[in-house]
Structure 1
């Protein structure tokens, strides 16, 4: 069955079945008129780049940080908003995802590709994969006899639990058959697991606040789609668990975050904290760990080594953040006691490559190196699907370099005894 037949065309709006219609704002009216549910439309950008789609103090994207470290909310609010290449790339990938999904369901949408600074074949493949995943969920809902609602880039509000102005934008929401699907697209390369993920739980909570009074939602399926890591993480939970999490975890943490209360706490959430480089709590935690460095490794027992292993990545990250902060401040004119700014090591380079090449050719030598493109470059040259079709059978992947990780890591442990037997 074609997409056009499976999802009827609705010009100028995100598709929904005949039982739902959308107006031009964001909050649903929890009422029924002549047997129809009346909703207001999502605040999607229809191919543009959305600005201000998340609240500042209790943002879903930072929920892991301010839930675990409530005072960080007020602390981060003091800093100006900045962006990075990675963040800009992710924003553009989301815009392409939105465009492809809207186009697939018959929505009129402007193609954003011409305005995307970081557009690439990889971004196209990732966005296509996300759209296909969302469409398959929609098709599955229809196969089960449902009349699904699809909302794209839907603004959701969870202020009831986290305080006024607590909102965010969910990439996609599908509602059918007593089930709500909440999708979150991640373009980064860091693996993100869905279990206990505060960001997507905020989206689910906001979606339930909007639609649970209109539809009979029994369960919520959470999906984090990470094409760059070939990772799709999903979990299905009763809606009661979402509400319980909101009352037990989110609400109390948000109250502390807004009042500036609570205790500073260090963890993986520090990676996205603007105050991380100079945070005193983080420094004290890592300096306390650093005391082990004053003992020679042979003097540490197994328990001490394990304790260090659990926290050493945080120590390294903190030291790196601190050095970067100090360097940028020094470049800006700050003087640090006992330190000075100098030029680092540099390498020689050609000032005129065409002239270099022609000069070497005149000497009868070949100035160019010829070698096979690497896998990433070759995939970019051919496109992902064509690459797999032509060269998939000519690839191999050897065992990875052994690395020590926590027991909670999902990868299987290496049997070192069996490995020793093979090598003997």
Structure 2
């Protein structure tokens, strides 16, 4: 058993049998890359926690996002890192756990509030250990201009056929660009395109796990079908979409020039501030009426315990609170579009955020297909999916050829696909 796994198991056993007095009189330093969240922590999160836990003080000390990994690794190696480590999903945090820097939290009481999908971003490949408490996810779908839909007499589409009928109607009217998305920056085509609509075709976690196990291939119908849909998108993205950047697309939509925006929920706060029209959202339309719907409910941010902390009991007390309904409500309402991964009840004040999170009640949640394990080798499947999605949208590569290229790249280094 790894040292940090053993320490975590012993720690959790101690915590479950201990008393509140054990967690008194400690100051916890929190490392994070979310420097834009500083005032939220200072004004809302920290006061709420400290009011309920007067013996524990929190100090939030973020680094610049681009520098976080390097700064954190340097501090951990020097023994000067904080007690609480904010965790990026998948391989970056897994490397910290494997190096003994993060404690196994599998037995933490609050972990019972999270599903396996929620924990997937911060678990070992075999799922035997989870080393960060999941804090938030982002959900993918489509944001639309309600005024434009009302003006054109359009209903929210629920099937692929209805989706393209709506796009055709918007294009025929000519008053709006049907969808605001460019291909210049590439990642949008994969993130808001392929991995947005794809789960409906590969059946979410069922298909993603089958791909990991080598039981499905990227050339199977469920993985080629989303490329077939993307191949139709180019006709609806507006003149010059090939050179259109991500900020360009945001501006086109918020200025009211496009009717639909393929979206991640992180857009909500910015769009609320910039758009002067009412917005709605719809989940990716299913291939056929009556099909189960699937959404990309992607793990985005977690938080864990430095294995070298001098205050493990206090840190565990804080992490259990992060798993609670109180924290979830504070965080979700302070940052609309970043959704709690906990099963604890949460009431969202923002109507657009509430629309996104409501899809969890009717659709199955999954995460982006390329993020767990499959982008460790060369060629990197995530980056290859970017350029393949762009090539398909632009008509430079057929859906079948794009899928075959991705499969060839993956099977060149990933043993289960060989």
Question: Which of the pair has the greater relative contact order for Cα pairs under 8 Å at 6+ separation?
Answer: 2
Same fold (TM over 0.5): no
TM-score range, shorter chain: under 0.3
| Structure number having the greater helix percentage | 2
TM-score by length of 2: 0.21
Which structure has the bigger radius of gyration?
1
